[in-house]
Amino acid sequence: MNKCGIEIMIVEDNPSDAELVLRVFRKHHLADCCVVLKDGVEALDFLFPESAPGEPAARRLPKVVFLDLKLPRVDGFEVLRRIKSEESTKNIPVVILTSSNQERDIKEAYDLGANSFVSKPIKAEEFNQAVAELTAYWLKLNRLPGQ
């Protein structure tokens, strides 16, 4: 693992959107501090790994999760539900970063414990600025218990 550990978890099935986020992280020297997962199953496996009999699970918990809602296999709502229902992960900030701007999605995300809901801007420049600002806030300004 890299020297900074996993600080950012991106759950995004669209390779172009994932690359845009990574480009912003590279610009801010954070690319080595993140993991990109392409669906809800990978996200849940990463956060809640199965441990071998008699061995504790190796937990690599991020400081913030950027989560798309429209994911294959297991959708973002289920990932969010699981993160916020587990004692060990419930305090991890989850930023919904999705193309949806439907009121029912916004309401459900907040009802499940999302910390922020951001609809993806269409223009690359707006997207880059939004990701940079979100990252700066959640990694540098926000305080979590135990920090």
- The pLDDT score that the predictor gives to residue 74 is 95
* pLDDT tens digits, 63-103: 899 999 999 999 999 999 999 999 989 999 999 988 888 99
Pick from 79, 145, 81: which is nearest to 113 by CA?
A: 81
Please tell me the CATH superfamily of domain 8-49+58-139, with its number.
Response regulator (3.40.50.2300)
**Where do the domains of the chain lie?**
8-49+58-139
- The C-alpha torsion from 121 through 127 and 130 to 133, rounded to 10°, is 180
Per-10-residue mean pLDDT, the chain, length 147: 67 89 78 86 90 54 91 95 94 91 94 91 75 77 67
The answer to whether 76 and 105 are in contact (CB under 8 A) is no
- The pLDDT score that the predictor gives to residue 58 is 55
Distances in Å between the alpha carbon of 65 and those of 15, 37, 75, 117, 136? 17, 11, 14, 12, 13
